[in-house]
Amino acid sequence: MKTLLLQIFTWWSGQTIGVRFHTWRNGERVGEDAMGNVYYQGGKDSEGRTRRWVIYNGPSEPSMIPPGWHGWMHHRTDVAPPSETYAAKPWEKPHQENLTGTGRAYRPKGSILNQGARPTVTGDYDAWTPKS
């Protein structure tokens, strides 16, 4: 019952009722990634391309889409990762969780949340002042 209520009233807890209906009616399962996200395609978007979508395994977190699937989702390639002809690029890094807003987020030197001192400015930059 809790899952049904979440699907009716929230969009960030996985698929909504609308997505479930659209997937049932138009969706063709293309594959699944290592994190359990399931990818679908079907129908046409406003530009005439095949519509593609993902149903997340857990909260809707777009940074959980691996590079190969990201390219397929955004029509950068027509070859989905489960295809036999798919080959990951050598420069593609494995997925890393988005740490923004957490205690493990990147905090450069000089940040209010970092104890390090800000690096001094060098070079030919002169800060603007009203009297100059």
Three-state SS for 92-105 is CCCCCCCCCCCCCC
Lookup: tokens for 127: 């800060």
Q: Is the confidence at residue 96, as pLDDT, over 80?
A: no
Q: Return the percentage of the chain with pLDDT > 90, whole number.
A: 2
Q: Which of 58, 10, 56 is nearest to 69 (CA)?
A: 56
List the beta strands (DSSP E) in 13-111: 28-32, 38-44, 50-55
> At what angle are helices 17-26 and 2-9 packed, to 10 degrees?
90
The model's confidence at residue 74, banded by pLDDT at 50, 70 and 90, is: very high
Q: The pTM is what?
A: 0.61
| Helix, strand, coil percentages in the chain from 3-state DSSP, rounded to 5 | 20, 15, 65
Phi, psi (degrees; rounded to nearest 5) at 44: -125, 145
Q: Is 76 helix (H, G, I), strand (E, B) or coil?
A: coil
Residue 28, pLDDT above cutoff 80: yes
